[in-house]
Amino acid sequence: SSDLTQPPSVTVSPGQTATITCSGDALPNQYVYWYQHKPGQAPVLVIFKDTERPSGIPARFSGSSAGTTVTLTISGIQAEDEADYYCQSEDTSGTYVFGSGTQVTVL
Amino acid sequence: QVQLVQSGAEVRKPEASVRVSCKASGYTFKNYAIHWVRQAPGQGLEWMGWINAGNGNTKYSEKFQGRITMTTDTFATTVYMELISLRSEDTAVYFCTRDEKVLVGDSHYWYLGLWGRGTQVTVSS
């Protein structure tokens, strides 16, 4: 599975939109999963299969995909969304990889 | 209660080895794979590998090939991760995590849904 590149940090004001990209050469052939990770807590899945939102995840979280880049969008961001976000994919051999992670600051 | 309980913190010297355990409870142990993920200080999540608790098959990240071994004890419903030839860069919190399945129509997708609380491993001379 190839490397997944994310921006190190994103800073947005409350109520604005945060956009986090995840780029990788293999992504046209692999689904991406997005995890929210807060300090001292277990990571939580917020998007799977590039664009699907699990039950219980607020509608302000959405995903999109275009070629080698997959994007997580948090619309109308709230203070509680401040966290690290990781994309993750799996190749056909069962190898997983995490993106480099993006620290989202709501300020 | 469905949970993964990990062993306590470990301190090792360089070149030593460490074994971290992850005890599963509250579900049918053999039905799921367990992954190991680590997070070094100030760094991101790093996937290390998985083990199929049903048949013992493993898949390791290329980065750890030759240094990592994952095993299971079915009777104890416990998964072990051993890392050898430790170096300072292996200082990290090590998490075990279990596959979870989400259904969309007739298809299912696996993600890392159940996590242990993490085990701090410190490598220092």
pLDDT in tens, B70-115: 999 999 999 999 999 999 999 999 999 998 998 888 998 999 999 9
Q: Is the pLDDT of residue B52 over 60?
A: yes
What does the pLDDT look like over A42-61, one tens digit per residue? 999 999 999 999 999 999 99
**What single-letter DSSP state applies at residue B64?**
G
pLDDT band at A2 (very low <50, low <70, confident <90, very high): low
Closest to A33 (Cβ–Cβ): which among B44, B50, B111? B111
What does the pLDDT look like over B6-15, one tens digit per residue? 999 999 999 9
* Sheet of A61-66, strand order: A18-23, A69-74, A61-66
What does the pLDDT look like over A66-104, one tens digit per residue? 999 999 999 999 999 999 999 999 988 889 999 999 999
The residue among B35, B109, B110 with the most chain A CBs within 10 A of its CB, best to mutate, is B109
Amino acid B37 reads: V
Name the E strands within B10-67.
10-12, 18-25, 33-39, 45-52, 58-60
Q: How far is CA A83 from the centre of its chain?
A: 11
Q: Are strands A102-106 and A9-12 parallel, antiparallel or unpaired?
A: parallel
**Mean pLDDT, residues B59-79 taken together:** 97
Q: How far is CA A7 from the centre of its chain?
A: 11
Using a CB-CB cut-off of 8 Å, the residues of chain A touching B100 are 45
* Alpha-carbon span B72 to B53, nearest angstrom: 6
